[in-house]
Structures are given as C-alpha cells and as structure tokens.
Amino acid sequence: MARTARLSGFPEWLPAGHVVQASVEETARRVFELHGFAGIETRAVEPLDQMLRKGEIDKEVYVLRRLHADERDADSGLGLHFDLTVPFARYVVEHAGQLEFPFKRYQIQKVWRGERPQDGRFREFTQADIDVVGRDYLPFHYEVEMAVTMATLLAALPIPPAVIQVNNRKLAEGFYRAVGANEPESVLRAIDKLDKIGPEATHRLLVEQAGLSSQAADLCLDLAAIRTADSSFAEQVSALGVTGELLDEGVRELAAVVDGANAERPGSVVADLRIARGLDYYTGTVYETQLIGFESVGSIASGGRYDSLATDGRQTYPGVGISLGVTRLVSILLGNDLVEVSRPVPSAVLVAVLDEVSRERSQRVAAALRSRGIACEVAPSADKLGKQIKYADKRGVPFVWFPDVDGDSVKDIRTGEQTPADANTWDPPEDDRAPQVRSRTDDHRSTTDQEALS
Amino acid sequence: MARTARLSGFPEWLPAGHVVQASVEETARRVFELHGFAGIETRAVEPLDQMLRKGEIDKEVYVLRRLHADERDADSGLGLHFDLTVPFARYVVEHAGQLEFPFKRYQIQKVWRGERPQDGRFREFTQADIDVVGRDYLPFHYEVEMAVTMATLLAALPIPPAVIQVNNRKLAEGFYRAVGANEPESVLRAIDKLDKIGPEATHRLLVEQAGLSSQAADLCLDLAAIRTADSSFAEQVSALGVTGELLDEGVRELAAVVDGANAERPGSVVADLRIARGLDYYTGTVYETQLIGFESVGSIASGGRYDSLATDGRQTYPGVGISLGVTRLVSILLGNDLVEVSRPVPSAVLVAVLDEVSRERSQRVAAALRSRGIACEVAPSADKLGKQIKYADKRGVPFVWFPDVDGDSVKDIRTGEQTPADANTWDPPEDDRAPQVRSRTDDHRSTTDQEALS
C-alpha cells in the first residue's frame, strides 16, 4: 500500500491508508467507550513553562509565533503539545470543580515532537490515550484495568499479536534501594539503556554513574533479566535474596496486574523487569508493548501510574494511563503490507447516468440508497456504460446501478452478475457496505470483529 | 452547558460538550461517506511560501520553530495550516499519479489562525470540508452536489434551521464588467463590506476605489440587493438592463444550483447576490450559510468553485468545495444552550461491587455486557450500595447492575424500577445505549435521526 512522506517526519496517507488509520481510531473509540471512558479533546498548544517542567524533552518542543507578532504578543510562550498526558493533567486541574472523580477519559489527537525522524519515529503523529485519575486517591485496580482495556483493543485490531510488558516502579526502586542505591533514578536510567548498550556497558554505568558496588550492579542486572508470563517472577525475585517493604509492595502489585489481566485476556501481559520507561513521573505500574515481529520499532502502547503529575498545590490527582501510538502502528501495517483494504472509497454503488437529461433520475436512486445507509455516488459523466463500469472498477466500487424505465438493475462488477433491483429494498452483502480492513497474516482478525471485544 | 476557554481563542469543552462536538463530526463523516467522499488527513504544517501565495491572511499564520533549532533547521519555514483547502490542493498535486479523478474527499481537522479572538472566531478550530477536484476538467453538476450534501448534513444535525446562500462569480464579474468596471475584484471587495458599512459608504468605495460611475455603482448595489428562494432572481437581474455573455453564463449556473439543490432539499438554498466571499481563488459558485437566529456570528459553512488553485504547471485540477465550521457551530450550540446531552459519559450501566473479593464477578458481568456492545464500568469501590447508586446518578449513568449469586438484577435509577436480569441477554432501551444529543428547539431533530439523511 502506498504511503508518502514528502516532508520528513510528517506522514500522510493515500485514501486506502487513511481507511486503515480511521478504522484503528474508530476501533479505539469503540473499545474505550465500551469500558466507560469519556472522550475529550485538549487544545494543541500549551504554555511552554508548563511543558518544560516535565523535563527531558525540552529540545523537542515546537514553539509557536505569529508571522507578524509584536514583542509582547500573548501567544509568545506557547508550544505544540508533545504528548496527551501533560495536557490532560492540566485539563484535570483546571476543570476539577466540574468533573466527577475517578475521571475516566480517552483522547485521540495529534502530537508533535521536533525529533530527528527515523523508522517509527515521527514529528507529527496521532496517539490514542486512556487515563483514569482520582482526587487525592486512586484505587489500585485501575492499573489492571488499563492493561485489560489496551489488550482488548489490540485484540480487536487487524494486527500481529502484541504483548504488553509490565513492570513496577515500587518494585524497582525498592530493590535498588535495598542493594544500596542512593539515587534509584540513576539506576533506572542505566537499566533503560540495557537493550541498546548491553549488560557489560550497563554494569559500568551502574557502578560509575549510579554508584553501586559491583555486586549490587550484578543483582540489578539479574533483576532486569527476569521475564515471566505469570506471577512466577516473584519467586525469581525472591531467589535474589534482596528484601524490603517497598520491594514487596511492588512485587504484589505487579503480580496482581499480570494475573488479573491474564485472567481476563489470557496471554496478553507478561512481567518484564527490564521495562524502565523514560519519564520521571511514573510511580507504580509501567507498561510497554511489543508488536511480535516488529520489536525493533519500539513500543506501540506505553504508560503507567503517576501519583503527582496533576496537582494544584492543595490537592493531587493520582492517575494511571496508557497510550496507543496510532501513527507508529499504522506505519508498520502499511509499510510491511500487513493489511488489505477492500476499497479506498466509501461508495458501495456507482449509479450510472444514461444521458445528462436523466441525471436527476440517477440522483433519486442515489438518494433512496443513502436513506437506507448505503454509500453511493452518481457517475460524473453520461459516458458509454462500459466506461462508467471501468470508472467504478478503477476505484474498487463493487456495484454499478442501471436506472431503467422498465425496471432498474444492479451489477456486481466483480462477478459480472446483473439482477433486477429496487433502490428502496436492495441491499449489498454486509461485507460490501463499507471498506473492510483485513489482516493479511490472520483471517480471523478484523476491525469489524465484534467477538474480539468480548 | 459548561464551556471553558482559559486560553483566549483556544476553546476546550467539558465531556458533555465533547459529546456534542463528536456527534457533529460523526454525523458529518456519515453524511459525507454516504455521498461517496473518501476521508483523508493532511499534516498540520505547510511550507510558509506555499501558504502565503494564497494571499490575504499572511499575518494570521502561526510559524513553527524548534526550541533549540539551529539557524539552518529544515523545519524553519513551516507554519500551521489556516484552512484545509490549500493543503488539499497541495496533496492533490503531490499525489496526482496515485489518485482517481474526479477525486471526492472529506477532511475533518483542526486549523489555526492567529486572529484576534472574538465571538465565533477562534485561534484553533475544527473544520469539516468536502471537495471534488477533476483533472483539467470538472463537470458543473458538482456545484449542485456540494450544496445538496451540505444541506443534508445540516438537516441531520440537532441545530436551528440553516440556509445556504449562493452566488456566482461569473455572474458578478460579468455584471461588473458590463457596467464598466476594469477591476471586478475591487468591486467585489467593496460589496463584501456592504453588510458592515451600509449602502452609502459602499457606494463611495465603488466610485472612489473601484472607479465606477455613480450610476454603475447604483446598479451594483441594486444587484447586491437581490435575494430569492428560487431562480426568479434571473428576472430581477434582467430587469436591471445589463447584459453580457459571462453574466448570462453565471445566471444560468446560479439558477441551476438553486433549483437543483431545492429540488432535492426544499428550502435549503437561496440565491443571494450580495455574497462575495473574501478569497481570491473562487471562479464560479460561492456558498455561505446562515444559521437562522445567529446570523451575526457569521457563516457556518462556506466555499465555492475554484478553477486554478491546484496546478503543477502542466495540469490544473479545478475543484469545488464547502467547509463546515464545526467549532463555530458547536460553540453556538453550547453557548446558547440549544442542545441537551442525555449524559456526559458513554457508560449505560454501572456494575456494583458488593465487596472487593467479588470485584472479579462484577468484571465478568461488565465483560458480558461489553461483548454485546453495551458500554459500562465497574464501581470504583465496594462502598455501600446507596453510595454506588449516587455515584452512577452524579454521572448520568442510567442503570446500576447488582451481581447476586441468587440471580443478578438491574435498576433503572431514574424510575427506581429493579428487575431480574442476565448479562448475556439484557439490553438497555435503544435511547440509553449511547449518549444522545437533542435539540432543545425542535424535538424532531437529533444526530441519530436516520430519516433526516434521506
């Protein structure tokens, strides 16, 4: 399927590619709403000082300025948001008086980062986020629900199998402190590099930058090597002989997420103690998601628990969320030809025009079909019928309708079968009503597969 | 209904307001697809030189820069798009080899303008555009179809009555030339100010700036005063005693749009010879739309025919389009309390939790309901049941489900009626499945009203 990106990092799809992206977004909306998340949108801009407080990515922010702005312009100091979590935290604090807590919301919007574009990394891309925030308190069980909801969405999409990898910051921090780390965050940052630089270089970082003993560094690497499909990771952690209260709490929470999510969606979640996540604000469960066969592209759905991202000084709004990288996922699907689209246009029917005088008659047929939810278009010109059929064929429109004073007929141009038809009663087969997106690798997956939502 | 705009010109809605905006967008998508328009998205940024060529609004463009960009950054020279027509024209030229013509597309996206915010005017807002472009040639009948499609959408929305006002650039230019104007565009610009400055001041502009004789200026003002619900405007134009080939062609086209659109959608379109539209690129039919009772806010749907906006030097792609101002419309609906939303959350059901040990049981009920498309959520805490019912009530969730080993039951908390129920078979009333948006001024209008699409 064709994709184009003439301005590097700013992807744009042809209509068939857009069908894929729209169906991913539509499926996300449907799954999120079934789970009780309310949709919102936040503005695309945030005050720079707000965004930069969240650290790490200041150089990636796009700053706005009006072309003929004067010095003291009210818009100066605005930038495009780089994610949907920071704007959501701001929205919650701003509107807290008008919201009910715990507040469950989803948000599907574009974000912008001025990063160097590369495979799977864009400067403009769409994210689909869910978050739950409480006022002062948020029950732990939502950390399970995030994984279940995202696993349900992933199962409903026409994509290769995906696995959500879960870790817990309390577990990591408790372990690092117990082996003698004064700055658990330095340890986390070193472990975050493990995949890229390997265990030896990570060991060096742990000793030299995080100040660990060589033995403690070994233990941290042993911890990061643990990956289990169920809560048996707990025994492996226990076998390392490190103990502590925070560590135990983290182990209990991680076991609850893995077992709880797999009880509802078997095989959807693994415990992976190597998962660090870059962002500072996570305080409990953290999630990353591998698309099997495309691990090198990076996580397609990430998030975690944050206890103090949103606060107005008097109250805090602890939350947990996870975000699907829609553009990254769609670019994998299109770039690797993993899906097929039954047609790039919505029309199920082209209504032929016999001559320009009778165009109105063809329009009445179209209006009758539309009134029953059948997408259609009227031929652009009263060309020879063969040319009109060719026109439909080129677009992938499956049916051509022939108005006739002696009785209309409709032709399936794929089979050539032509039958008498009445625009007030005829229906296309269910699969032909709207463009279908199907996985090329697994016939059972499809965005219209209701059962995948169960 | 609450709305908020803490950053002037960048509107944000509470969840109930978002339900309204999302339903407007969803209805637009549905109507556009029923009429055979394929969805696309273009990136939010365009090269500045591209945008500024289109004139008039250069000062309104937001320019981007990376926070730590160096001088020769590849991103310098990019701005946020200010409409969807210019990016669409660029998209068509860029991808012409991979598109089928005439190409019908819709596009629902945000745009940005650094204008002074005021009533109905925003710095960030969503537009819903449809356009058809041909290669080298585009049949006239699409100028009728644009009006019909937009009228169909407006009729399907829960809004006050709207009237599409149509004029024709050929008619106007032909008339102005025939009365002696050398620069028809100056006449157009003066007429465009008629509503604001009145006929006397416009007459002065026509004489002093457009170089018309006083008598010719009178004739132009007489022309601008013509407004008819059908093609009878043609006789009134004729009565002014001005003739010309281009004028005649414009009269014929305008009559065809008004009569053609009203034949399909009675009363949807009027001929209004005062309509000028600011943008230079229109060459035939032009559209503006008044929301009755809210005329002062400005047009809610505008567009027109353009013959040479999109060209790659060798070929041109003439087009016609019309754009619904989604944010402007939604802000009118919310700001004037014109709609009511049945609830701000998707959940039809809150599944109660009797105690934390049995949360899993409640989750199984929720999964069963979701598998049949019923949006629901599980109570956040195993509070007293009265408190859980209150929780649902505050959110507008109409049903509370009580799991029970002796048989579940479900309560409609609006009526208090409680009945035995099985999560594998129970269904809420159709109107309670999803949030409903209803007009407060007209009970028959609703976004779920299928008949309005016929």
pLDDT at residue number A2 = 39
Q: Percentage of chain A surpassing pLDDT 70? A: 92
Report if residue B299 sits inside a domain: no
Residue-level pLDDT, tens digit, chain B, 454 residues: 334 447 889 999 999 999 999 999 999 999 999 999 999 999 999 998 878 766 555 568 999 988 876 655 555 689 999 999 999 999 999 999 999 999 999 999 999 998 887 777 899 999 999 999 999 999 999 999 999 999 999 999 999 999 999 999 999 999 999 999 999 999 999 999 999 999 999 999 999 999 999 999 999 999 999 999 999 999 999 999 999 999 999 999 999 999 999 999 999 999 999 998 876 789 999 999 999 999 999 999 999 999 988 888 889 999 999 999 999 999 999 999 999 999 999 999 999 999 999 999 999 999 999 999 999 999 999 999 999 999 999 999 999 999 998 999 999 999 999 999 999 999 999 999 999 999 998 644 444 444 444 4
Provide the number of structural domains found in chain B.
3
A197 lies in the same domain as A277? yes
B250 lies in the same domain as B312? no
pLDDT at residue number B454 = 41
pLDDT at residue number B4 = 42
Q: B292: closest CA among B437, B439, B130, B436?
A: B439
Report if residue B62 sits inside a domain: yes
- The answer to whether the beta carbons of residues A150 and A320 sit under 8 Å apart is no
pLDDT digits (tens, 9 = 90+) for B8-52: 899 999 999 999 999 999 999 999 999 999 999 999 999 988 787
**Confidence label for A42 from pLDDT (cuts 50, 70 and 90):** very high
Q: What ipTM was estimated for this complex?
A: 0.93
User: Using the beta-carbon criterion (under 8 Å), do A68 and B58 form an inter-chain contact?
Assistant: yes
- By C-alpha distance, the chain A residue nearest B345 is A38
Which of A32, A43, A124 lies at the smallest CB-CB distance from B124?
A: A43
Which of A34, A66, A373 lies at the smallest CB-CB distance from B370?
A: A34
Q: Is A344 helix (H, G, I), strand (E, B) or coil?
A: coil
Q: Is A55 helix (H, G, I), strand (E, B) or coil?
A: coil
pLDDT at residue number A237 = 98
Work out the minimum CA distance from B361 to partner chain A, whole angstroms: 11
First to last CA, chain B: 31
Report if residue B442 sits inside a domain: no
A5 lies in the same domain as A114? yes
Work out the minimum CA distance from B276 to partner chain A, whole angstroms: 27
Work out the minimum CA distance from B284 to partner chain A, whole angstroms: 18
pLDDT at residue number A454 = 42
Beta bridge partners of A304: A286, A321
| pLDDT above 70: residue A54 | no
* Domain around B368: 349-432
**Distance (Å, whole) CA B146 – CA B265:** 12
- The answer to whether the beta carbons of residues A87 and A41 sit under 8 Å apart is no
A11 lies in the same domain as A133? yes
Q: Is A119 helix (H, G, I), strand (E, B) or coil?
A: coil
A312 lies in the same domain as A189? no
**Distance (Å, whole) CA A78 – CA A94:** 17
A1 lies in the same domain as A137? yes
B333 lies in the same domain as B269? no
B115 lies in the same domain as B248? no
pLDDT at residue number A279 = 65
User: Using the beta-carbon criterion (under 8 Å), do A14 and B99 form an inter-chain contact?
Assistant: yes
**Distance (Å, whole) CA A285 – CA A300:** 17
Buried-state track A67-86, b at ≥16 Cβ within 10 A, e below 16: bebeeeeebeebbbbbbbbb
Q: Which residues contact B373 (CB under 8 A, 6 or more apart)?
A: A34, A450, A453, B433
Report if residue B150 sits inside a domain: no
Question: How large is the average pLDDT for residues A216-225?
Answer: 97
Tokens 């709609």 belong to residue: B339
pLDDT at residue number B280 = 74
- DSSP output for A275-287: ---S-TT--SEEE
| pLDDT above 90: residue A13 | yes
Strand segments (E) across A292-436? 301-306, 319-325, 339-341, 349-351, 376-378, 399-402, 409-412, 418-420
Which of B60, B347, B453 lies at the smallest CB-CB distance from A371?
A: B453
Q: Residues B154, B155, B159, B165: is their CA dihedral positive or negative? A: positive
CATH of the domain at A235: 3.30.930.10
A chain contacts of residue B19, beta-carbon cutoff 8 Å: 38-39
User: Using the beta-carbon criterion (under 8 Å), do A346 and B10 form an inter-chain contact?
Assistant: no
B399 lies in the same domain as B334? no
- Residue at A361: amino acid letter: R
Q: A234: closest CA among A216, A261, A252?
A: A252
Phi, psi of B266, deg, nearest 5:
-50, 130
Task: Mean pLDDT check: name the lowest of A64-73, A250-259, B56-65, B329-338.
Answer: A64-73
pLDDT digits (tens, 9 = 90+) for A172-210: 999 999 999 999 999 999 999 999 999 999 999 999 999
**Distance (Å, whole) CA A147 – CA A130:** 11
Work out the minimum CA distance from A66 to partner chain B, whole angstroms: 5
B134 lies in the same domain as B184? no
Q: Which residues contact B372 (CB under 8 A, 6 or more apart)?
A: B424, B427
Beta bridge partners of A105: A38, A131
**Distance (Å, whole) CA B362 – CA B404:** 10
Report if residue B453 sits inside a domain: no
Work out the minimum CA distance from B255 to partner chain A, whole angstroms: 16
pLDDT at residue number B448 = 43
Report if residue A182 sits inside a domain: yes
User: Using the beta-carbon criterion (under 8 Å), do B65 and A63 form an inter-chain contact?
Assistant: yes
B251 lies in the same domain as B369? no
In this structure, how many other beta carbons lie within 10 angstroms of the beta carbon of residue B146? 26
Question: How large is the average pLDDT for residues A372-388?
Answer: 97
CATH of the domain at B416: 3.40.50.800
pLDDT at residue number A1 = 37
Report if residue A296 sits inside a domain: no
pLDDT at residue number A119 = 75
Which of A65, A91, A375 lies at the smallest CB-CB distance from B12?
A: A91
pLDDT digits (tens, 9 = 90+) for A345-377: 999 999 999 999 999 999 999 999 999 999 999
Which of B94, B102, B375 lies at the smallest CB-CB distance from A34?
A: B375
A316 lies in the same domain as A254? no
Instruction: Give the domain-ending residue among A291, A313, A335.
Output: A291
In three-state form (DSSP H/G/I as H, E/B as E, the rest C), the secondary structure along A219-254 is HHHHHHCCEECCCCHHHHHHHCCCCCHHHHHHHHHH
Q: A302: closest CA among A279, A333, A273?
A: A279
- The answer to whether the beta carbons of residues A349 and A376 sit under 8 Å apart is yes
- DSSP output for B256-306: HHHHHHHHHSTTSEEEETT---S-TTEEEEEEEEEETT-GGG--SEEEEEE
